[in-house]
Structure 1
Amino acid sequence: MKKQILFVHSAGPQGPQQGSSDLIEYLQALLGDTYHLLSPKMPNPESPEYARWKAALTNIFANLDNEVILIGHSLGGAVLLKYLSEMDVKPVVSSLFLIASPYWGKEEDWQAEEFTLAENFTSKLPHVSNIYLYHSKDDMVVPVTHIHHYANEFPQAITRVLEREDHYFSNGIPDLITDIRIS
């Protein structure tokens, strides 16, 4: 049976060679037939609203099988965490991968109440066996400082600060492929 992966994309345009599209294609090409990669387009990604993304995730999670690997890219990672900390999810979340995700509410230019996590949000999350954090050292969209906020909340997480200037990872993340396969 194929392992399920739910990929929640970034904000912004999601057409060919935009947003998370190249990263999704990379994952599909390298993960092959062992995994079933779901990458639904979230509502109105160019002007995202948490309530609409939450409703979409509720529908998606209702149709997932027993176990799922979650990947969130940029805003997709922040929304996944908020959703998981607020809702009961049916499938077991075996692994969580956050890629260049903003940590809302911690830094001056990153204030958006609708995306801000509740205090002690980690205590409300379902059990996740494996958590991985990825961020480019010189990310020009979401500063690398955001990964450190997540690393403080998840001391058990494997944290990878990548030596490049990239937010969209158009050429992929080899460590991500390896980490998915061992998780």
Structure 2
Amino acid sequence: MFLINALAEAPPSRKLAGLFLIGAPFAGAGGWPSEDIRPTTELGARLPTTTPIYLYHGSKDDTAPFAHIDLYEKAIPGAIVHRLDGRDHQLNDDLAEVAAGVRALI
């Protein structure tokens, strides 16, 4: 949550191959309130256009509600979204899908 919003505020000076968010809470309307993050409905428009965004969220996440992935998908059009059925906040300690996504970039 903090990283994606920090990148929207100050894009990196280097090109990133991709950004992978796992069970990330959404700050803003419909998500969590935050005193540190200024929520924006234009999150995707403020991110580097050359950086693909990958979202992974388990349906059994009891830390960040599963609906938060829908909020991210709406705020970041073009994000690659992975809804993982039956997985918890740590994806049941199985990052196989994330690792496959990273490997596909290299």
Q: Same fold (TM over 0.5)?
A: yes
- How far apart are the structure 2 equivalents of 1:172 and 1:104? 25
Cα deviations by residue, 1:54-79 (Å, 9 ceiling, x for unpaired):
xxxxxxxxxxxxxxxxxxxxxxxx11
Is the aligned partner of 1:182 residue 2:104? yes
SS of the residue corresponding to residue 133 of structure 1 reads strand
Match of 2:97, SS? helix
SS state at 2:18 partner: strand
> Could you tell me how far apart the structure 2 residues matched to 1:140 and 1:88 are?
31
Q: Is the 8 A contact 1:137 1:162 kept in 2?
A: yes
Unaligned runs of 5+ in 1: 1-77
Change (3 A) 1:159 1:121: closer
Relative to structure 1, is the Cα distance of residues 143 and 157 closer, same or farther in structure 2, using a 3 angstrom cutoff?
same
Q: Secondary structure at the match of 1:159?
A: strand
Number of aligned residue pairs: 105
**In structure 1, how many angstroms separate the alpha carbons of the residues matched to 2:41 and 2:80?**
22
- Could you tell me which residue of structure 1 aligns to residue 47 of structure 2? 125
Secondary structure at the aligned position of 1:128 is classed as: coil
Q: After the TM superposition, which parts of structure 1 deviate over 6 Å for at least 4 consecutive aligned residues?
A: none
- Shift in alpha-carbon separation, 1:87–1:156, aligned structure 2, 3 A: same
Q: CA RMSD in A?
A: 1.8
Which structure has the greater CA radius of gyration?
1
User: In the alignment, what sits opposite 1:147?
Assistant: 69
Q: Would you say the 8 A contact 1:138–1:164 is kept in 2?
A: yes
Partner-residue secondary structure (3-state), 1:143? coil
- Identify the structure with the greater strand proportion: 1
Q: 2:2 aligns with which of 58, 61, 79?
A: 79
CA gap 1:88/1:178 in 2 versus in 1, 3 angstroms: closer
Q: SS of the residue aligned with 2:71?
A: helix
Residue of structure 2 aligned with 1:161, choices 75, 78, 83 = 83
Gaps of 5+ in 2: none
Letter of the structure 2 residue corresponding to residue 124 of structure 1: R
Bigger relative CO (Cα 8 Å, ≥ 6 apart): 2
CA–CA distance in structure 2, aligned partners of residues 154 and 139 of structure 1: 21
- Letter of the 1:142 partner, please give it: A
Matching residue of 1:113: 35
Q: Distance in 2 between matches of 1:121 and 1:151?
A: 10
